[in-house]
Amino acid sequence: MSPKTWKFVATLPARVAALAAAAGDLGRMAALAHQLKGAAGSYGFPAITEAVGRLEAIAKSGGGSEDTQACLRELANLCGRASAMPPPPA
């Protein structure tokens, strides 16, 4: 993993926390999800891209809290696995 990718991965816990905090504001959640979707795609994390894309779609459609919470849990799991990867050698 490149240093730039590692820096992106290091931001994932804060991004997931921001998405969870925005659960009451679907417009904000959709915007944050859209940003993460683009970044994850750029850094080569297709599973995160797909999961956050589903969250964005739910937020844009005014989806229910159960769907939102399920997507957030999936996203947190995926981001947690990515964050557990070792950093690049110095």
**Percentage of the chain surpassing pLDDT 70?**
97
34-56 tens-digit pLDDT: 999 999 999 999 999 999 999 99
User: Which tokens in the block code for residue 40?
Assistant: 């994850």
Q: In this predicted structure, what is the pLDDT of residue 88?
A: 67
**pTM of the complete model beyond 0.75:** yes
Looking at 1-90, list the stretches that DSSP marks H as alpha helix, in order from N- to C-terminal side.
3-21, 26-42, 46-60, 65-83
Q: Is residue 86 part of a domain?
A: no
Q: Is 89's pLDDT higher than 80?
A: no
Q: In this predicted structure, what is the pLDDT of residue 3?
A: 82
Per the CB < 8 A criterion, the answer to whether 78 and 48 are in contact is: yes
Number of folded domains that form the chain = 1
How far apart are alpha carbons 9 and 59 in whole angstroms? 23
Q: Which domain holds residue 72?
A: 3-81
Q: Is residue 44 part of a domain?
A: yes
Q: Is residue 88 part of a domain?
A: no
Q: Is residue 20 part of a domain?
A: yes
Q: Is 25's pLDDT higher than 70?
A: yes
Query: What is the average pLDDT score of the chain?
Result: 90
Q: In this predicted structure, what is the pLDDT of residue 27?
A: 93
How far apart are alpha carbons 39 and 49 in whole angstroms? 8
Q: Is residue 68 part of a domain?
A: yes
Q: Is residue 90 part of a domain?
A: no
